[in-house]
Amino acid sequence: MTLDVAWAIGWVRLSAQTVTEHRSELIELDRQIGDGDHGENLFRGFTAVTAKLDALETQPADIGEVLKLVATTLMSTVGGAAGPLYGTAYLRAAKATGLPELDSHGVVALLEAALEGIVARGKARTGEKTMVDAWAPAVEAAVAAADAGATPAAVLEAAAAAAGAGAEATVELIATKGRASYLGERSQHHMDPGARSTELILRAAAQAAE
Ligand code: ADP
Ligand code: MG
Protein backbone atom coordinates (compact mmCIF):
# COMPACT_ATOMS: atom_id res chain seq x y z
CA MET A 1 0.00 0.00 0.00
CA THR A 2 1.27 3.48 -0.91
CA LEU A 3 -0.03 7.04 -0.76
CA ASP A 4 -0.28 9.20 -3.86
CA VAL A 5 -1.29 12.71 -4.91
CA ALA A 6 -4.98 11.96 -4.20
CA TRP A 7 -4.02 11.34 -0.56
CA ALA A 8 -2.18 14.66 -0.41
CA ILE A 9 -5.19 16.51 -1.80
CA GLY A 10 -7.46 14.66 0.63
CA TRP A 11 -5.14 15.63 3.47
CA VAL A 12 -5.37 19.30 2.55
CA ARG A 13 -9.17 19.22 2.27
CA LEU A 14 -9.60 17.36 5.57
CA SER A 15 -7.15 19.76 7.24
CA ALA A 16 -9.25 22.68 6.07
CA GLN A 17 -12.36 20.94 7.37
CA THR A 18 -10.90 20.15 10.78
CA VAL A 19 -9.40 23.60 11.38
CA THR A 20 -12.79 25.04 10.44
CA GLU A 21 -14.57 22.73 12.89
CA HIS A 22 -12.02 23.48 15.64
CA ARG A 23 -11.58 27.16 14.88
CA SER A 24 -13.23 28.38 18.11
CA GLU A 25 -11.41 25.83 20.22
CA LEU A 26 -8.02 26.92 18.83
CA ILE A 27 -8.94 30.58 19.30
CA GLU A 28 -9.88 29.85 22.92
CA LEU A 29 -6.66 27.92 23.61
CA ASP A 30 -4.60 30.76 22.15
CA ARG A 31 -6.65 33.32 24.08
CA GLN A 32 -5.58 31.66 27.32
CA ILE A 33 -1.82 31.77 26.73
CA GLY A 34 -1.38 33.90 23.62
CA ASP A 35 -3.25 36.50 21.61
CA GLY A 36 -6.22 34.42 20.48
CA ASP A 37 -5.50 34.36 16.76
CA HIS A 38 -4.32 30.78 16.16
CA GLY A 39 -7.72 29.41 15.12
CA GLU A 40 -8.39 32.35 12.85
CA ASN A 41 -4.89 32.17 11.36
CA LEU A 42 -5.19 28.51 10.42
CA PHE A 43 -8.78 28.87 9.23
CA ARG A 44 -7.72 31.69 6.91
CA GLY A 45 -4.67 29.77 5.71
CA PHE A 46 -6.35 26.47 4.92
CA THR A 47 -9.37 28.18 3.37
CA ALA A 48 -6.94 29.94 1.04
CA VAL A 49 -5.21 26.65 0.23
CA THR A 50 -8.46 24.91 -0.73
CA ALA A 51 -9.50 27.92 -2.80
CA LYS A 52 -6.20 27.68 -4.69
CA LEU A 53 -6.64 23.93 -5.21
CA ASP A 54 -10.15 24.53 -6.56
CA ALA A 55 -8.88 27.19 -8.94
CA LEU A 56 -6.13 25.06 -10.47
CA GLU A 57 -6.69 24.27 -14.12
CA THR A 58 -4.62 21.12 -14.02
CA GLN A 59 -4.49 18.89 -10.97
CA PRO A 60 -1.14 18.78 -9.15
CA ALA A 61 1.12 16.07 -10.54
CA ASP A 62 2.54 14.77 -7.30
CA ILE A 63 2.53 14.98 -3.51
CA GLY A 64 5.41 17.44 -3.48
CA GLU A 65 3.49 19.89 -5.63
CA VAL A 66 0.49 19.79 -3.28
CA LEU A 67 2.65 20.31 -0.19
CA LYS A 68 4.49 23.18 -1.87
CA LEU A 69 1.19 24.88 -2.62
CA VAL A 70 0.24 24.51 1.04
CA ALA A 71 3.61 25.91 2.13
CA THR A 72 3.57 29.02 -0.04
CA THR A 73 -0.08 29.75 0.72
CA LEU A 74 0.32 29.37 4.48
CA MET A 75 3.42 31.57 4.43
CA SER A 76 1.59 34.33 2.60
CA THR A 77 -1.78 34.17 4.36
CA VAL A 78 -1.13 33.05 7.94
CA GLY A 79 0.29 35.67 10.23
CA GLY A 80 1.98 35.18 13.57
CA ALA A 81 4.39 32.45 14.47
CA ALA A 82 2.38 29.58 13.04
CA GLY A 83 2.42 30.76 9.40
CA PRO A 84 6.18 30.60 8.89
CA LEU A 85 6.48 27.50 11.12
CA TYR A 86 3.86 25.44 9.28
CA GLY A 87 4.99 26.97 5.98
CA THR A 88 8.55 25.76 6.53
CA ALA A 89 7.25 22.36 7.66
CA TYR A 90 5.28 21.85 4.44
CA LEU A 91 8.11 23.18 2.30
CA ARG A 92 10.62 20.74 3.81
CA ALA A 93 8.06 17.95 3.60
CA ALA A 94 7.50 18.74 -0.10
CA LYS A 95 11.22 18.45 -0.77
CA ALA A 96 11.40 15.15 1.09
CA THR A 97 8.84 13.47 -1.17
CA GLY A 98 10.88 12.72 -4.26
CA LEU A 99 8.85 9.74 -5.43
CA PRO A 100 5.29 9.89 -6.84
CA GLU A 101 4.07 7.49 -4.17
CA LEU A 102 4.97 7.13 -0.52
CA ASP A 103 5.45 3.89 1.32
CA SER A 104 5.67 3.78 5.14
CA HIS A 105 9.28 4.95 5.17
CA GLY A 106 8.39 7.73 2.75
CA VAL A 107 5.73 8.90 5.19
CA VAL A 108 8.32 8.89 7.97
CA ALA A 109 10.69 10.94 5.80
CA LEU A 110 7.90 13.47 5.15
CA LEU A 111 7.12 13.84 8.86
CA GLU A 112 10.80 14.03 9.83
CA ALA A 113 11.38 16.77 7.28
CA ALA A 114 8.39 18.73 8.59
CA LEU A 115 9.70 18.55 12.16
CA GLU A 116 13.18 19.57 11.00
CA GLY A 117 11.67 22.58 9.28
CA ILE A 118 9.82 23.66 12.41
CA VAL A 119 12.92 23.27 14.56
CA ALA A 120 15.11 25.09 12.03
CA ARG A 121 12.65 27.96 11.95
CA GLY A 122 11.58 28.22 15.60
CA LYS A 123 14.58 26.80 17.45
CA ALA A 124 12.34 25.16 20.05
CA ARG A 125 13.20 21.87 21.68
CA THR A 126 10.80 19.44 23.29
CA GLY A 127 9.47 20.55 26.66
CA GLU A 128 9.17 24.23 25.71
CA LYS A 129 5.39 24.01 25.21
CA THR A 130 5.20 24.47 21.46
CA MET A 131 4.02 22.46 18.46
CA VAL A 132 7.37 20.63 18.66
CA ASP A 133 5.91 18.80 21.67
CA ALA A 134 3.33 17.25 19.34
CA TRP A 135 5.54 16.83 16.26
CA ALA A 136 8.50 15.17 17.99
CA PRO A 137 6.54 12.28 19.57
CA ALA A 138 4.60 11.96 16.31
CA VAL A 139 7.81 11.40 14.37
CA GLU A 140 9.09 8.98 17.00
CA ALA A 141 5.88 6.94 16.83
CA ALA A 142 5.94 7.00 13.03
CA VAL A 143 9.50 5.64 12.94
CA ALA A 144 8.59 2.85 15.36
CA ALA A 145 5.44 1.95 13.40
CA ALA A 146 7.23 1.91 10.04
CA ASP A 147 10.08 -0.18 11.45
CA ALA A 148 7.50 -2.65 12.74
CA GLY A 149 6.08 -3.00 9.22
CA ALA A 150 2.96 -0.84 9.55
CA THR A 151 1.11 0.42 6.46
CA PRO A 152 1.38 4.15 5.60
CA ALA A 153 -2.12 4.68 7.00
CA ALA A 154 -1.15 2.95 10.26
CA VAL A 155 2.06 4.99 10.43
CA LEU A 156 -0.01 8.17 10.17
CA GLU A 157 -2.46 6.91 12.76
CA ALA A 158 0.38 6.21 15.18
CA ALA A 159 1.79 9.69 14.51
CA ALA A 160 -1.57 11.36 15.08
CA ALA A 161 -2.19 9.47 18.32
CA ALA A 162 1.27 10.40 19.61
CA ALA A 163 0.71 14.04 18.62
CA GLY A 164 -2.53 13.94 20.62
CA ALA A 165 -0.76 12.59 23.68
CA GLY A 166 1.98 15.18 23.16
CA ALA A 167 -0.56 18.00 22.95
CA GLU A 168 -2.24 16.73 26.12
CA ALA A 169 1.14 16.70 27.86
CA THR A 170 1.75 20.38 27.01
CA VAL A 171 -0.94 21.28 29.57
CA GLU A 172 1.48 20.92 32.47
CA LEU A 173 4.46 22.51 30.73
CA ILE A 174 5.66 26.08 31.27
CA ALA A 175 6.27 27.86 27.99
CA THR A 176 9.81 29.01 27.26
CA LYS A 177 9.35 29.76 23.53
CA GLY A 178 6.82 31.80 21.62
CA ARG A 179 4.29 34.30 22.85
CA ALA A 180 3.13 32.06 25.73
CA SER A 181 6.61 32.33 27.29
CA TYR A 182 5.81 35.96 28.21
CA LEU A 183 3.39 34.51 30.78
CA GLY A 184 6.06 32.43 32.51
CA GLU A 185 4.48 30.13 35.09
CA ARG A 186 1.02 31.43 34.24
CA SER A 187 1.29 29.54 30.96
CA GLN A 188 0.93 26.29 32.91
CA HIS A 189 -2.36 24.34 33.04
CA HIS A 190 -3.30 25.24 29.46
CA MET A 191 -2.84 23.24 26.28
CA ASP A 192 -0.57 24.73 23.64
CA PRO A 193 -2.69 25.74 20.64
CA GLY A 194 -0.03 24.83 18.07
CA ALA A 195 0.39 21.37 19.57
CA ARG A 196 -3.38 20.89 19.36
CA SER A 197 -3.52 22.07 15.73
CA THR A 198 -0.64 19.70 14.92
CA GLU A 199 -2.71 16.83 16.31
CA LEU A 200 -5.70 17.89 14.19
CA ILE A 201 -3.61 18.16 11.01
CA LEU A 202 -1.97 14.77 11.56
CA ARG A 203 -5.37 13.19 12.28
CA ALA A 204 -6.49 14.60 8.93
CA ALA A 205 -3.46 12.98 7.27
CA ALA A 206 -4.37 9.62 8.79
CA GLN A 207 -8.03 9.97 7.86
CA ALA A 208 -7.11 10.79 4.27
CA ALA A 209 -5.09 7.57 4.11
CA GLU A 210 -7.89 5.30 5.32
P1 ADP B 1 1.40 33.93 17.46
O2 ADP B 1 2.01 33.31 18.68
O3 ADP B 1 2.37 34.78 16.73
O4 ADP B 1 0.11 34.62 17.74
P5 ADP B 1 -0.08 31.65 16.52
O6 ADP B 1 -1.04 31.98 17.59
O7 ADP B 1 -0.66 31.43 15.17
O8 ADP B 1 1.08 32.71 16.44
O9 ADP B 1 0.68 30.31 16.89
C10 ADP B 1 1.07 30.05 18.20
C11 ADP B 1 1.70 28.67 18.24
O12 ADP B 1 2.94 28.67 17.55
C13 ADP B 1 2.04 28.22 19.64
O14 ADP B 1 0.95 27.58 20.25
C15 ADP B 1 3.21 27.25 19.43
O16 ADP B 1 2.76 25.94 19.25
C17 ADP B 1 3.81 27.72 18.13
N18 ADP B 1 5.11 28.34 18.34
C19 ADP B 1 5.38 29.60 18.75
N20 ADP B 1 6.71 29.83 18.78
C21 ADP B 1 7.30 28.65 18.41
C22 ADP B 1 8.65 28.22 18.23
N23 ADP B 1 9.69 29.02 18.44
N24 ADP B 1 8.86 26.94 17.81
C25 ADP B 1 7.83 26.11 17.58
N26 ADP B 1 6.54 26.47 17.72
C27 ADP B 1 6.26 27.71 18.13
MG1 MG C 1 -1.53 33.66 18.52
Number of residues in the chain: 210
Q: Name the β-bridge partners of 102.
A: 3
Q: Quickly state the pLDDT bin for 34 (edges 50, 70, 90).
A: very high
What percentage of the chain carries pLDDT values higher than 90? 97
Nearest CA to ligand 1 atom 9: 82
The answer, yes or no, to whether any atom of ligand 1 lies below 6 A from the CB of 194, is yes
pLDDT attached to residue 15: 98
The answer, yes or no, to whether any atom of ligand 1 lies below 6 A from the CB of 191, is no
Query: How many degrees, rounded to 5, is the angle at CA 191 between CA 189 and CA 194?
Result: 150
Would you say residue 100 has pLDDT above 90?
Answer: no
Orientation angle between helical segments 193-209 and 5-21, nearest 10 degrees: 140
Predicted model pTM: 0.98
Specify the CATH number for 3-209; select among 3.30.70.120, 1.25.40.340, 2.40.160.20, 3.40.50.1240.
1.25.40.340
Per-residue pLDDT tens digits for 50-82? 999 999 999 999 999 999 999 999 999 998 899
Q: Quickly state the pLDDT bin for 98 (edges 50, 70, 90).
A: confident
**What is the amino acid identity at position 178?**
G
What percentage of the chain carries pLDDT values higher than 70? 100
Show me where the domains of the chain are located.
3-209
Would you say residue 2 has pLDDT above 90?
Answer: yes
pLDDT attached to residue 8: 98
Nearest CA to ligand 1 atom 20: 178
Helix or strand or coil: residue 102?
Answer: strand
Nearest CA to ligand 1 atom 22: 122
72 in Cβ contact with 60 (< 8 Å)? no
φ, ψ of residue 184 to 5 degrees: the values are 55, -130
